[in-house]
Chain A
């Protein structure tokens, strides 16, 4: 029987899981902003948008920083 290596996505590492986490955190931040604006809280909404942008910037930084570490 010949064993074939499993496909890449099945070997999900902490790096890949962290990327999913950052993506969902970004969605949460912008979702909170929408909720805050709908509730009439402009300050909370603006803070959530800034937080969302910060998370995106962090995601880019993280990908650059851990470039040498494999997804596997």
Chain B
């Protein structure tokens, strides 16, 4: 039995099946990300004065990732346009570029995550805070048994609020050097992972979900790129529609980043 409206538009909706499906899916995605953006707004306006982080993320890396996704949106469109004019070779070239750009984006995102996961804030028994990137933990370091030392590349501050705005002149002027902390002096310590505070929680949630979408989209695009030749030979029109649908998803994911970047990196 042949499935109707896989190529031609259905008269009442004016859309072929896959396009109707992807728009319904994207509508649900808008609600998913919309809910998380709302959570971000509520967490931010509900934060204690001076306790919402600024300048914690690397704007240069965020900008590079924005450029990568913008370029990938263009290559996605060009791949679809190549299908429209029946040029399969160009389709392969453009979508190979899309895949490479997406993988580079994920690589940079992984680097940013790693940077946060090796960044530690240590609350000391005297009420001050040691903050910086982990250099090493001594072989006998055990926080529970209070043995050993931990070395950070960073600085010591007297008030946690000093760690919140890294764009402030004081933070910019702070001298970072190796700080060795004995386990006996540590009250508590933790990295800048999702558990650190509400900012890192919403940052990892939003960008992690977005990165999963990038990964999913890349897998779909790779599937069409690697195994699409068979359908291209038998039903190029239907294959072109599939490329359009995957392109719509990809554009949506890129649009989400266009909102994520200024909200997380610039504010």
Task: Give A residues with C-beta under 8 Å from B.
Answer: 3-7, 10-15, 17-18, 20-21, 24-25, 28, 31-32, 35, 39, 55, 58, 62, 65-66, 69, 72
Contacts and interface: CB of A to CB of B under 8 A. Distances in A.
Contacts, number: 66
Contacts of B255: 20-21, 24
Given A6-B12, A14-B244, A28 B262 contact: yes
A72 B19 CA distance: 11
Interface residues of B, number: 30
Nearest to B244: A14
B73 A69 contact: no
Contacts of A18: 73, 77, 251
B248 interface: yes
Nearest to A51: B67
Nearest to B77: A18
B80 A14 contact: yes
B141 interface: no
Interface of B: 9, 11-15, 19, 23, 63, 66, 70, 73-74, 76-77, 80-81, 84, 167, 244, 247-248, 251-252, 254-255, 258, 261-262, 266
Contacts of B63: 32
Contacts of B73: 18, 21
26 contacts: A3-B11, A3-B12, A4-B12, A6-B13, A10-B14, A10-B15, A11-B9, A11-B15, A13-B19, A13-B244, A17-B248, A17-B251, A18-B73, A18-B77, A20-B255, A21-B251, A21-B254, A21-B255, A24-B258, A28-B262, A35-B262, A35-B266, A58-B74, A65-B81, A72-B9, A72-B14
Given A21-B255, A28-B261, A14 B12 contact: no
Contacts of B80: 14
A13 B254 CA distance: 16
Contacts of A31: 262
A31 B259 CA distance: 11
A4 to B, nearest CB: 8
Contacts of B254: 21
Given A28-B261, A35-B266, A15 B77 contact: yes
A14 B254 CA distance: 13
A5 B77 contact: no
Contacts of B14: 5-7, 10-11, 72
Contacts of A25: 70, 258
B69 to A, nearest CB: 9
